[in-house]
Amino acid sequence: MTPSLTLDEFLLCKQAIMRYGKQGQMIVAIEELSELIKEITKNLRGRDNCAAISEEMADVYIMLEQLIMMFDNDNEIRGQMRLKMKCLKERMDNERGG
């Protein structure tokens, strides 16, 4: 179980995957990602849509949790995040020094 979900939320996500299938939930993930992209774009164009962005971020977050369950890759993601954060830190440190 990922630490960011309650047990009930975790079980609900598992049930959604079982009911709608991995492929169905992957399609939903794609749809939710595109909805977030759309709201971010609106914001960049000057729209005051912070509530909509929050809603779409929540949708994406829920779908990311389901993708983690489907691919069973929580540890790989943590490892990749550590690596990418290390690279980001190095890049920012180099920019400061350069």
Site residues (vs Mg ion, CB under 5 A): 32, 35, 56, 59
Nearer to Mg ion, 29 or 68 (CB): 29
CB of 95 to Mg ion, least distance (A): 35
Give the pair of three-digit tokens for residue 96. Answer: 């400061």
Give the pair of three-digit tokens for residue 90. Answer: 């190095």
Nearer to Mg ion, 11 or 30 (CB): 30
CB of 97 to Mg ion, least distance (A): 42
Please answer whether residues 57 and 40 qualify as being in contact, where contact means their C-beta atoms are separated by less than 8 angstroms. Answer: no
CB of 56 to Mg ion, least distance (A): 5
Residue type for 86, please?
A: K
Please work out, in degrees rounded to the nearest 5, the angle formed at the alpha carbon of residue 38 by the alpha carbons of 85 and 11: 65
